[in-house]
Chain A
Amino acid sequence: MKKRLNLLFTSSVLCSTLLLGYIPVSHAEQEGFFSWLITLESRKGVKPVTDETYNEECGSCHFSYQPGFLPEASWQELLTRKALEKHFGETAELDEKDRKHILAIAIENSADKSRYKRSKKVMASLEENEAPLRISKVRYLRDKHEDVYEKVVKNSKKIKSMSLCDECHQKAADGVFDEDTVVIPDYGRWSW
């Protein structure tokens, strides 16, 4: 009897969990507790981007930075048509359809809306209304990389730019930036 009840309980919990996954949720709730419960998605790093256009267009000169590294206001300023014509001294013009598509992804997943750990830390390190245009200007990321830049990257023959995150962060594309995933070319591991 007890066993049967147990089974009944387990299956009803399972069913309701599954059902919850199918209840249409509004956009804001998609990142909510229940969807997390169902996917058990890790929120330790930043939210990875799977969109092909985003990764191809943003990743052809530098690492395809996830939107969760900057607040919406930064993306709004960076990804205007005008701004992309002179993107840190380079031309990064996109056709309008792609530009709007990429901007929408950036806004939707920007740091100020994200529940991921690193995005929250980015936001916590910024002043109110601060919208940096360079990811390297985000205090949290700058503080984390100051030492490694001075001691290794500055004189490295292998790494020419801090914009190639995945040179050292082996799982950067998956949004994972944990210490144990860092291997610096010609140097090895790094401890924070």
Chain B
Amino acid sequence: MKKSILIITAMFMFQTAWAQSAIDEAFKTFSENGKLKFDAKRGQTLWTKNFPAKDGKARQCSTCHGTDLSKEGKHAKSGKIIKPMAASVNPERYTKMKKIKKWFKRNCKWTLGRECTHQEKGDILKYLTQQ
């Protein structure tokens, strides 16, 4: 019994540490080794900034993810449920650097019509991980 509690605790700690390492790695990459500084407020502003799209409907990050990051979002086109973005509610989202990179690439292209700069990515990540 005691042993299983110990194992479960260890697993949780491992998961937290694991998530943290991917976030750290992301910040390190985006900051270009400490050159850039990030601000959650700036990230939040960018989150609800409108970007024109070809279909005439302006897009912002919150179009699909919403503004309450602890809640689920909904894909604008397909209506598919998107799990919450807040790291506190859904830490699994931030456990792999590969995943962080992939979604920034795809979703910046969809929303902004281009890839995001390191500054933008860092600000957004700061905002998301502080929620």
A-side interface residues toward B, CB under 8 Å? 60-62, 90-95, 159-161, 163-164
Alpha-carbon separation in the docked complex, A179 to B110 (Å)? 37
- Cβ of B49 within 8 Å of any chain A Cβ, yes or no, is no
Can you identify 22 A-B contacts, CB atoms within 8 angstroms? A60-B80, A61-B78, A61-B80, A62-B80, A90-B77, A90-B106, A90-B110, A91-B105, A91-B109, A92-B106, A93-B102, A95-B98, A95-B102, A159-B79, A160-B78, A160-B79, A161-B78, A161-B79, A161-B80, A163-B78, A164-B78, A164-B80
Q: Report the interface size for chain B: residues with CB under 8 A from the other chain.
A: 11
- Cβ of B75 within 8 Å of any chain A Cβ, yes or no, is yes
Chain A residues with CB under 8 A of B109: 91
Alpha-carbon separation in the docked complex, A62 to B77 (Å)? 10
8 A-B pairs with the lowest CB-CB distances in the bound complex, closest first: A160-B79, A161-B78, A91-B109, A91-B106, A163-B78, A62-B78, A161-B79, A61-B78
Chain B residues with CB under 8 A of A160: 77-79
Chain B residues with CB under 8 A of A92: 106
B75 A61 Cβ-Cβ under 8 A: yes
Q: Is the interface of A mostly helix, strand, loop or mixed?
A: loop
- Minimum CB–CB distance from A94 to chain B (whole Å) comes to 8
A164 B79 Cβ-Cβ under 8 A: yes
Given contacts A90-B77, A91-B109, A160-B79, 17 further A-B contacts (CB under 8 A): A60-B80, A61-B75, A61-B78, A90-B106, A91-B105, A91-B106, A92-B106, A93-B102, A93-B105, A93-B106, A95-B98, A159-B79, A161-B77, A161-B78, A161-B80, A164-B78, A164-B80
Chain B residues with CB under 8 A of A62: 78, 80
Contacting residues of chain B (58-85) with chain A, CB-CB under 8 angstroms? 75, 77-80
Chain B residues with CB under 8 A of A94: 102
B78 A91 Cβ-Cβ under 8 A: no
Chain B residues with CB under 8 A of A60: 80
- Minimum CB–CB distance from A65 to chain B (whole Å) comes to 13
Chain B residues with CB under 8 A of A163: 78
Alpha-carbon separation in the docked complex, A164 to B82 (Å)? 13
Chain B residues with CB under 8 A of A90: 77, 106, 110
A91 B110 Cβ-Cβ under 8 A: yes
